[in-house]
Structure 1
């Protein structure tokens, strides 16, 4: 069953910034607000911004109520998660998407926001895996922010990558699914667990031990989430950790060890994740991945 895409944004539309996970102050968000306003958007800062409950943007109920309010408000046409960190899985089961389903809007974020992307895809809705307001103005991130603007406003997006020695050649067509590897493992067996069969999976992570990356990839494989993939995009695995006795493989080599068991195309070095190059991907949208000797190309159908 095809997924539902929210309407593209138009100048004058109202968008909300919320903190479903870690806290973010209005001062930290000011530059992103200015950027969104320069796109012709009106920005609302939710009740979960500029407050703190330990690491979180308010306690679970504050964050849940704020997100619910933005979901239910018909004037809000997109919800941008200020940052990731941790916290979204703590509130996801308390959110009601029934009004949202009648009038879907874009939900944007990555990392811990993988929770929302998977939950929405399970419900049949598209969303945007992309840079978050707290990171709008990091050095070298201009292309990431521009790709998010294009995704929000319904402009054409296509990506071309140079060749990578670990790539697996071929062509795949399928809906995009994925995000943060550790969150995908966390969601397994929950109400937010999503099928990967016939889809193009994308993966990224940060600060994970190499053995843990192997353990999580093994988990994906044993639960059948690799076997029936159409294709795989391998993003940034930033700042990987190792033990005193080296693990002996890079994150890309670990992932390819599992992907190599199957025949689907694999594109390594895809610019998504916890680095300035974090281009927007539309989760749930049908795409074509082509991987050949020249490199890799991703385009929406």
Structure 2
């Protein structure tokens, strides 16, 4: 069964901002609230905002309770994770999605929020991998923010990126799945793991050692996540780390080493991940990836 899509937002709808991972203050979120209000939305700041427990937006129970309340509240039409970091996997198994299934709503975020994107897709629901409120007004992120607005409001999008020397030409159709590489590895073998066969996988990450990127790609390959892909989209691998003895390959070269075992089309250099250009992708939405000599195009179908 294809993943179901929540209804598009409309002016006047109410949306919530919560912290499922790291903390964010009301002061830090003020600019994002103003942006959302300029879109005609009404904003609720959850109880997990403006508090801190070590790095987290409150203790696990606070973050779980806040997210659950927003899931169950029929007046809330979208839930935006304030920021990533770490912490969503600590609470995901204690969240009840049964009422959400009756009236799905948009859940949006990226990085650590890959946990929610994958868990929702496992349950048969679409969600948005996109820029989070703490980053709404970052310099150079205007196109990313607009792509999130278009995704939330159900407007058509089509992404085009220049040719990359590591690209493999071809056309693929399938539901989009993916996100942060380290989270995808972490979720393997859990209730949040998603199937990749017949789907278009997208990958991104930040601050990872080059050998660790290779290790995670080995893991994806050994667990069969690459074997039956329809296509692969490689996003930003921001600020990669290296050892005293250089690893000898870039993140893109490492990923392509494993992609070369198969025949699906591959698009490198896609604007998704931990940089200002982080275009919204709808996890679970059927899409078409076209990679040719001029570059790559991704559009929903």
Task: Indicate whether the TM-score tops 0.5.
Answer: yes
Q: Secondary structure at the match of 2:91?
A: helix
CA distance in 1, matches of 2:187, 2:198: 19
1: CA distance between counterparts of 2:157 and 2:93? 32
Partners of 1:6 and 1:13 lie apart in 2 by 13
1-side partners of 2:88 and 2:177: how far apart?
18
* Separation in structure 1 between the aligned mates of residue 118 and residue 54 of structure 2, nearest angstrom: 26
1:271 shift after superposition: 0.2
Q: CA RMSD of the aligned region, Å?
A: 0.3
1:104 counterpart residue number = 104
SS in 1 for 2:287: strand
Residue in 2 that maps onto 1:133: 133
State the partner residue of 2:224.
224
Tell me the distance in 1 between the aligned counterparts of 2:300 and 2:194. 21
- List 4+ stretches of structure 1 deviating above 3 A: none
Inter-partner Cα distance in structure 2 for 1:67 and 1:201: 27
| Residue of structure 1 in register with 2:181 after alignment | 181
Q: Does 1:48 align with 2:44?
A: no
C-alpha distance in structure 2 between counterparts of 1:156 and 1:174, whole Å: 17
Shift of 1:37: 0.1
Q: After the TM superposition, which residues 187-202 of structure 1 pair with which residues of structure 2 at under 5 Å, given as runs?
A: 187-202=187-202
In the other structure, the counterpart of 2:6 is 6
1:153 aligns with 2:161: no
Shift of 1:8: 0.2
Return the TM-score normalized by structure 2.
1.00
Gaps in structure 2 of 5+ consecutive residues: none
Aligned residue number for residue 119 of structure 1 = 119
CA drift of 1:202 comes to 0.2
For residues 52 and 139 of structure 2, the distance between their equivalents in structure 1, rounded to whole angstroms, comes to 27
Does structure 1 residue 283 correspond to structure 2 residue 283? yes
Point out where structure 1 has 5 or more consecutive residues left out of the alignment.
Answer: none
Cα distance per residue 1:49-87 (max 9 Å; x no partner): 000000000000000000000000000000000000000
Per-residue deviation, 1:109: 0.1
Whole-angstrom distance in 2 between the partners of 1:160 and 1:138? 22
